[in-house]
Amino acid sequence: MNHHPPSHLGRAVTVVLGALPFTVVTLLVFGDWPPLRRWDESVAARVASYGASRPGWVDLWQVMGAVVLPWTMRGVLLGVAIYLWHRRARLLTVWLIVSAGAELGLVQAVKHIFDRERPAAMLVENDGWSYVSTHATAAFVMAGALGVVLPSVRGWRRRFRTLVLLPTIGVVLLTSADRIFLNVHYLSDVLGGWALGLAVLTATSIGFGLRPGLRRRRRRTPADLARATPPRAAVIVNPIKVGDGVAFRRKVSRALAVRGFDDPLWLETREDDAGNAMAKRAIENESDLVLVAGGDGTVRVVTAALAGTAIPVGVIPAGTGNLLARNLHIPLDLDDALERILDGRERRIDLVKVRGDGLDTDHFAVMAGLGLDAAIITGAPPILKAQIGWTAYLVSAAKNINHPSVKVRIALDDDEPVERRVRTVVIGNVGMLQANIPLLPDARPDDGLIDVVVIAPRRVTQWPLVFWRVMTRTKRTEMYLERFTARKVEITAAVEVQRQLDGDGIGAGRFLCAEVEPGALVVRVPKRR
């Protein structure tokens, strides 16, 4: 099976084909195609005649219609979306919400565009236009999303797909039959609703780049056949960050198995060890790939231990910031990230060796900081971070907006040191923050350089100007915002201030020294499109 994303032309053709049935049905209905018109009138007449003499039968379908309302279908989609959000499947969450919203909006638009009258002999009172059936469209979108697309993308086993698909098909048929047997819609209204639902699902699925999950083992390549043993993988997991550990383990094991890997070595971080001992176990296991699922802190510890080993590391984002994953263009959706990493390519990036007063020599892959940024990270409540993610840092930033400035001396390589009074100094191996804020726009993880930004507004009222300079990627050096590059950076503060490494506070101190180690780490990243 080919796992590369389809071309732009292929996606466009798929969307057009998905919309074709709705186009055809609509043209036939409003072109007054005689066979379809006679069919609609015949079914409506028979239903009206049958229902007029059987009020109990009509009451039964009325009760059924009260259960299978369109808002019931949308509520089910919303409930599943909330569940997926908690499971960190953010892409699928947004896709479900957008699909439900598109269905609601398009149905109303179609009804007002075509203004088709309902059958004259309705068995119950019903307002509004007839084409298309809102019930049928909402049911089809719900059933298609939950019974077809979602199981396919998540790579469910066939028997589980069947267990979900059959009830959802039943809901579509029951909902559509209810509309016909109450004679509030023509049969073509229901067919048009199904076709519109198909168009919605096709467009949103293609638009979000959803692809079927893997279920069968791939064909073995000559390189695979040349190996005496299958490749080994180790999976290092921060259990606090990964919500449903059992499901995650099953998903990762299955994804590795279909790519020819042996059973993975599973290692969980502990409160007293964020991943160092686990990474060493992975090295002792002679792993061909290490997957690490956690926040930036877990990733930092694991990558530091694997520096120089040439063992590829795949980062599965499960934390608050996920800055390394963001800067390597790894999707934040767990399922999507896993697929892109395993089907991706290897890339060498730099690590930065860091030392300071009261610190053991360590490494970081993202950013280190001294001053306000470290105070914000240290002050973000863990409970709030777990509930609202990286936006918890905005709350901490508001509390620390008046963080005092500090006098620092900055030494870059062998140049003469410079002195500044700053709010914060950030040393970066990469440049993008959350929400695509380009703090260090020229930083590249494989350029053999460290990027430094010095932020020094004198007053609170000057912060908007600093933010504007950051967002517009200004290259101009000014007293509020300065940027430097070097291979080695030493920062000495006049007083003790808070410090951080890759989003983890490391305590107060006066000194940080950072030195780049070019190409020290091999990472798995998505293939170029």
Write out pLDDT tens, residues 287-345. Answer: 999 999 988 889 999 999 999 999 999 999 887 778 899 999 998 877 778 888 999 99
442, two tokens: 């020229």
Which CATH number goes with the domain that contains 116?
A: 1.20.144
Query: Among 157, 182, 207, which residue terminates a domain?
Result: 207
Query: What's the confidence (pLDDT) of residue 20?
Result: 94
Shared domain for 270 and 399, answered yes or no, is no
> Is there a domain that residue 526 lies in?
no
Residues 342 and 373 in one domain: no
Specify the pairing of strand 345-356 against strand 504-525. antiparallel
411/497 same-domain check: yes
Q: Is residue 311 part of a domain?
A: yes
Residue 159 and residue 12 share a domain: yes
Single out the residue in 290, 319, 350 at which a domain terminates: 350
The pLDDT mean for the chain works out to: 86
Residue 465 lies in a domain: yes
**Do 399 and 274 share a structural domain?**
no
- The CATH number of the domain holding residue 303 is 3.40.50.10330
Tokens of 528: 């170029």
The verdict on residue 379 lying in a domain is: yes
| Whether 64 and 182 share a structural domain | yes
228 and 196 together in one domain = no
Q: Is residue 355 part of a domain?
A: no
Comparing CA positions, the residue from 44, 43, 37, 62 lying closest to residue 135 is 62
Q: Convert 442-465 to b/e letters by CB count within 10 Å (16 or more is b).
A: ebebeeebbbbbbbbbeeeeeeee
Are 412 and 305 in a shared domain? no
Domain-embedded: residue 357: no
Where b means 16+ CB within 10 Å and e means fewer, 390-412 reads bebbebbbeebeebebbebebbb
Considering 320, 350, 380, which residue would you say is the last residue of a domain?
350
388 and 410 housed in the same domain: yes
| Per-residue model confidence (pLDDT) at position 485 | 93
Q: 217 lies in a domain?
A: no
Give percent of the chain with pLDDT exceeding 70.
91
CB-CB contact of 504 with 324 (8 Å): no
Same domain, yes or no, for 328 and 370? no
Which token pair is 474? 């200004």
Same domain, 319 and 253: yes
Q: What is the pLDDT of residues 98-146, one digit of tens each?
A: 999 999 999 999 999 999 999 988 888 888 899 999 999 999 999 999 9
Q: Range of 374's domain? A: 362-518
Q: Is residue 216 part of a domain?
A: no
Quote the pLDDT of residue 333.
78
Q: What is the dihedral of CA 175, 179, 185, 187, to 10 degrees?
A: 60
Residue type, 340: R
Q: What is the pLDDT of residue 211?
A: 67
Q: Are residues 178 and 62 in the same domain?
A: yes
Place of tokens 């061909």: 288
If we measure between CA atoms, which residue out of 295, 289, 341 comes closest to residue 317?
A: 295
What pTM does this model have?
0.65
On whether the CB atoms of residues 291 and 233 are closer than 8 A, the answer is yes
Count of structural domains within the chain? 3
CATH number, domain of 439, equals 2.60.200.40
